[in-house]
Structure 1
Amino acid sequence: MEGLGEQGAAGAVGPLLGAVAAPASPQLLLGYSLDADFIESLPLAVKCRVYALKKLQAKSAGLEAKYLKEFHSIERKFAKIYGPLLEKRRQIINALYEPTKEECEVKSTVADCNYKVAENSEAQVYGPEENSEYEDLEEYCEEGFEDVEEVFGEYGGGEGHNVDGEKEDPKGIPDFWLTVLKNVQEITPLIQKYDEPILKLLQDVKVKYSKPDEPLTFTLEFHFEPNDYFTNEVLTKTYMLKSKLDYSDPHPFRGSAVEHCIGCKIDWKEGKNVTVQRVLKKQRHRFWGLMRTTTQEFPRESFFNFFNALRWGLDADEDEEDVFIAHTLRTFVIPRAVLYFTGEALEAEQEGMFRECNNLTSDRITQEIQVAAVDGAKVQDLVSQAEDIDR
């Protein structure tokens, strides 16, 4: 459109403007700031096409919000299906239920690894699904078979049997959740020595999803037995998910984004708050010279700071780490807690890290070989040139 001038250029794109009206301010579209210099450098027709793409992107963001709602409803549905299995897990851990020999015989439960869900029920699981394949299932199901035979074969099974001269059969699975949390790579650094006696009292960790008519949230629940540290029976942390299109800034929207979180107040008993360090300090009165002792409290690192959401929004890195921990608990740890207890989940993570390190090492070696080959070719070329000069 060179040489047409402003009016000529506007006339040339008249048909296009009839389909897509140019915004009054070319730097802004739906409230989203664009690089003014870059946008102004574009031809008017191209700018209008960019506006059209931005409008399509806004509609796409709306679909992402709908996707999140649908996904949340699926999570809620399957949480009900998992419920009976997780409840039995809780009972076994806390010695409220003693599993039978058949329930302990992993070898004989190949079919148990293979459930299908009733289509007309949200909370019913039945029967082995046909034609289903699991990698290394037979090898997995052989595990622990001899131990089960030793307990149930020799002693007849049941509660309170001693094996190998043990003085007393421990009830349930002691320190289950403490061991699980210490085997989670993201949570281990949060747990201090003075946290462990409290985490030994942890009976269950659950995730609850909001109801269909409520804003999208999920809540992590930590259930404790009555203890000498705090009066709360349950410690909670709730995460609000971004479920609506933000018209002022729709384009960087990600469906799984956490907008905010709400912790809970821990009602610590006197002198039992592990999140603070108590220091006794002696002070002398300025006028009377009398001595008095005061107690000052200073915050310190603790796993239980996780439930304090007052710092949310102050540090982006801390917020990101907090959300990542919540996602790990919700998605991996709570559904597969036994694999973290045995360390199998940790081994899988370590194998992945080793593979990544090996790949990086292999790439570096390959790069060094290529560089050496190039350098060798350069040296050979210089030698050839020197020989030509000598001739």
Structure 2
Amino acid sequence: MLPPNIRTKIDALRKIQIDILNKEAEFHEQVHSVETDFQKSLIEIFDKRRQIVNGTTQEDTLKSEGHENNKTEDPLVKGIPEFWLRVFKMAPIFYGLVQPHDEEALKHLIDVRSILINEPKAGFVLEFEFEANDNFTNTVLTKRYEMECVPDVNKLLSFNGFKIFDTVGCDIDWKEGANLTVAVENGTERTVDSFFNFFCPKKLAANVDPVTYKKFMEYDFGIGYFIKDRVVPRAVLFYCGDFINVDDDSLEYELEQAQICD
């Protein structure tokens, strides 16, 4: 309904708006590259945490850093048993995801890492390292989140930086009769709730309608984002229960941040 001369000016302004968003996209990509470089400075710190959790740090080393132990060390206790299982059970985003039958396997989880990547797509990889256990032979289970930062000319208002592009899980090499994601009834296998479904989300959502599939993948991304930004860098705070009764709506916030490409 606008006069032609005004429409021409509005079209020009919309092109300028696209230029602005393209510049914002460049900014987000540069920030991701800086974060990717920055994570190298954290490797030594996270490795020190891993050694303490798994009992490979010598007691003399802890004492030299001012961490005195006033009680006699139990030689039978190595590191902090079931550290990551407790972290998962204390983190609100895992409520309902970690099932009772998952816990025995998760007792063997010895480290969780988040690695930012730029290739083949910008994103991050979650690595879950396990010691030998009775359920599967993998030593590391991975989940990769690939993202892109491209404004959609048809949805300019929705642009807010990176959106999920793809989610790539991994195959779990289950030992015979030890698959935690299935149950056998009358000779027929059926999928059951399990934390380990986290590593094959597409398979789990394969037979749902497009709207439900999109919501499911957004939820999956929210979980991955929460692990990367909250659980990995603040694991000891979850272990100690410091996040209990903290009114920051952590789960809701992370899910609001999760976006998925159409």
Task: In structure 1, give the amino acid aligned to 2:62.
Answer: T
Instruction: Please name the residue that 1:46 is paired with.
Output: 6
- Asked if 1:309 corresponds to 2:215, the answer is no
Unaligned runs of 5+ in 2: 250-262
**Is the 8 Å Cα contact of residues 178 and 199 (structure 1) preserved in structure 2?**
yes
Q: Hey, what does 1:237 align to over in structure 2? A: 143
* Corresponding position: 1:258 with 2:164: yes
Whichever residue aligns with residue 191 of structure 2, its letter is: P
1:175 alignment partner in structure 2? 82
Give, in whole Å, the separation in 2 of the partners of 1:174 and 1:73: 36
Q: Quote the RMSD (CA, aligned, Å).
A: 2.1
Indicate if the aligned counterparts of 1:219 and 1:236 stay in contact, CA closer than 8 A.
Answer: yes
The question of 1:342 aligning with 2:249 is answered no
Tell me the alpha carbon deviations over residues 149-195 of structure 1, each in whole angstroms, 9 at most, x when there is no partner. 623xxx5xxxxx24xxxxx6521001100111111111121010001
User: Cα 1:149–1:91, aligned 2, differ >3 Å: closer, same or farther?
Assistant: closer
Instruction: Using the TM superposition, give the Cα deviation of residue 49 of structure 1 relative to its aligned residue in structure 2, in angstroms.
Output: 2.4
The whole-number CA distance in structure 1 between the counterparts of 2:247 and 2:142 is: 33
Matched, 1:322 2:228: no
Distance 1:81 1:73 in 2: 14
Distance 1:179 1:82, change over 3 A: same
Cα shift readout 1:311-339 (whole Å, capped 9, x = no counterpart): 37652221221111111111111011111
Aligned to 2:113: 206
Partner of residue 62, structure 2: 100
Counterpart residue number, 1:75 = 35
Q: 1:66: how far off?
A: 0.9
Q: Residue 269 of structure 1 corresponds to which residue in structure 2?
A: 175
Partners of 1:342 and 1:150 in 2: CA distance: 20
In structure 2, give the amino acid aligned to 1:308: C
Counterparts of 1:231 and 1:262, CA distance in 2: 20
Match of 2:70 in 1: 150
1:346 to 1:73, Cα distance in 2 relative to 1, 3 A: farther
Q: TM-score, normalised by structure 2?
A: 0.84
User: C-alpha deviations, 1:51-107, integer Å up to 9, x for none?
Assistant: 1222122112211221121111121122111110100111111111134224353xx
Distance of 1:250 and 1:351 partners within structure 2: 33
Query: CA-to-partner distance for each residue in 1:339-363, whole Å, 9 max, x for gaps?
Result: 111011334xx3446xxxxxxxxxx
TM score, norm. by length of structure 1: 0.58
Please name the residue that 1:58 is paired with. 18
Letter of the structure 2 residue corresponding to residue 150 of structure 1: N
**Equivalent pair of 1:224/1:234 in contact (CA under 8 Å):** yes
Question: Structure 1 pair 104/72, CA: closer, same or farther in 2 (3 Å)?
Answer: same
Render the CA deviation track for 1:13-39: whole Å, top value 9, x for unaligned: xxxxxxxxxxxxxxxxxxxxxxxxxxx
Q: SS in structure 2 opposite 1:239?
A: strand
For 1:103, the aligned partner's letter is E
Deviation of residue 252 (structure 1)? 3.1
Amino acid at match of 1:200: K
Question: Which structure's CA Rg is the greater one?
Answer: 1
The answer on whether the counterparts of 1:57 and 1:251 sit within 8 Å (CA) in structure 2 is no
CA-CA distance at 1:249 after TM superposition: 5.7
Check whether the contact 1:58–1:251 (CA below 8 A) recurs between aligned residues: no
Name 2:259's counterpart in structure 1.
none
Distance between the aligned counterparts of 1:149 and 1:193, measured in 2? 33
- Code of the aligned partner of 2:193: E
Partners of 1:204 and 1:222 within 8 A in 2: yes
Residue identity (%):
36
Identify the match of residue 48 of structure 2 among 79, 85, 88: 88
Cα deviation, residue 48, structure 1: 2.0
- SS in structure 1 of the partner of residue 133 of structure 2: coil
**Contact conserved, 2:201 with 2:220, CA < 8 A, in 1?**
no
Deviation at 1:42, TM superposition (A): 2.4
Deviation at residue 242 of structure 1 after TM alignment: 0.8
**Contact in 2 for aligned 1:276/1:299 (Cα 8 Å):** yes
Kindly provide the amino acid, as one letter, of the partner of residue 84 in structure 2.
W
Q: How do 1:105-144 and structure 2 match up within 5 A? A: 105=67
| Structure of higher RCO (CA pairs closer than 8 Å, 6+ residues apart) | 2
